[in-house]
Amino acid sequence: MSTIRFEPIALQIAQLVSLDRLLSPEGGQKPGEAAAVPADTQEFFAVYMRAVQAGFRLLGAPQFERLSRLYDRFQEEFVPGGPPKSPVYDSYATQHILGEVPQGVASETPFSVLARLTSGQPKHEPLQRLALALAGSHLDLYRVTRAVGTNAELERIREEGTLSVRLTGPFLQAGDRMLGRVLPFGGAFFIADSPYLLKAPDADWLEYLARAAGESSPNAASSEAPRPASNAKLTPKERARLRQKRAAAARQSPDAGSVRLLKYGRSERYWLDFIMDAYAGERRGIAFLAGIPDRPETLPHHADYDPSNR
């Protein structure tokens, strides 16, 4: 009888998969594919495509069987491809499955496993860094202040700060409000998978995130880690337990709650359902989304949609 293995998925796969085979270009990027994007994004795009291809190969490992079935189900239900086929982009469906549906005791994804497998390999360092960025990435809210071709300036809506980003296509305009994924690579920032353009005002989105944070945050008395007296002597196990409680309390901050929601949603299909319900047209293949996720009356394709709501 086989025994259950409680070690991380990355360690299990490392014993089964050859890294050279995993990263083999066979059946991967087509000749000229990277050349089709702007010159200043070609290096990023080539590494990005390698990460995606390796991620899909990892999806075929037995440890990700459930995730592979989920991918097939989402393909049938949401038919990703972008407007007019579906408001769900192929690129978003890919990032969601490879980096936003954690599995196993260590909450791993194909991208986090790829980052682990390539760690400490100098020749794969760019791939490792991008896989790590993809594993930790999430949708976020931005305002476009300037856009010229495949370069744009963004303002963060959730917090202070601006970003200069390079795009794989001229899909943004000044004044756009967007829900998208920004990735660091080689000292610059890039948008690879197509963003969604938002119709609801900044204030509505910030109020939504504040509501979500309030619903998920425990009260201060239960979330605050206990503080020992200054002269208390703790055993190593007690110190470790105290660190874990403090880390758990830190993860309950409103901003951390917003990041978790933007990355994982409230379920594995949360953001996919929102995209389908909120679709409100497109501009050269880039979809507009109307409304706010927790206000179904504002979502044009939801059964509870009320056109009198903005």
d(CA 261, CA 270): 9
For residue 220, what are the contacts with CB-CB under 8 A and spacing of at least 6? Answer: none
Place of tokens 């025994």: 3
How does DSSP assign 23-89, residue by residue?
T--TT-SPTTTGGGS-GGGHHHHHHHHHHHHHHHHHHTSGGGHHHHHHHHHHHHHH--S-TTT-SS-
Q: Mean pLDDT, to the nearest integer, of 265-279?
A: 97
Rg (CA), the chain: 21
Dump pLDDT digits (tens) for 178-236.
Answer: 999 999 999 999 998 899 999 999 999 999 999 987 775 544 333 333 343 444 466 77
Maximum mean pLDDT: which of 18-32, 235-249, 255-269 = 255-269
Confidence of residue 21 (pLDDT cuts 50, 70, 90): confident
Tell me the β-bridge partners of 166.
151, 190
Q: Are strands 286-289 and 279-283 parallel, antiparallel or unpaired?
A: antiparallel
State yes or no: cis peptide before 8, omega within 30 of 0: no
Backbone angles phi, psi at 190, to 5 degrees: -135, 150
| Structure confidence at residue 227 (pLDDT) | 40
Q: Exposed, middle or buried: residue 274 (CB in 10 Å: 0-12, 13-18, 19+)?
A: buried
- 248 vs 170, higher pLDDT: 170
Q: Mean pLDDT, to the nearest integer, of 73-91?
A: 96
Q: Mean pLDDT, to the nearest integer, of 281-297?
A: 96
CA–CA distances in Å: residue 76 to residues 58, 60, 66, 80, 276: 21, 18, 16, 9, 14
Would the pLDDT of 263 be above 70?
yes
| Structure confidence at residue 216 (pLDDT) | 57
Q: Would the pTM of this model clear 0.85, i.e. be above it?
A: no
Secondary element (H or E) of residue 258 = helix 254-264
Q: Which of 40, 43, 78, 52 is nearest to 277 (CA)?
A: 78
Secondary element (H or E) of residue 166 = strand 162-167
| Structure confidence at residue 250 (pLDDT) | 42
Confidence of residue 47 (pLDDT cuts 50, 70, 90): very high
CA–CA distances in Å: residue 66 to residues 11, 14, 78, 272, 278: 18, 19, 18, 18, 28
| Structure confidence at residue 36 (pLDDT) | 72
For residue 51, what are the contacts with CB-CB under 8 A and spacing of at least 6? Answer: 111, 114, 127, 130, 131, 134
Dump pLDDT digits (tens) for 94-134.
Answer: 999 999 999 988 899 999 999 999 998 899 999 999 999 99
**Considering the chain, what percentage of its residues have pLDDT values greater than 90?**
64
| Structure confidence at residue 234 (pLDDT) | 67
Confidence of residue 249 (pLDDT cuts 50, 70, 90): very low
Dump pLDDT digits (tens) for 22-44.
Answer: 787 755 444 445 557 788 899 99
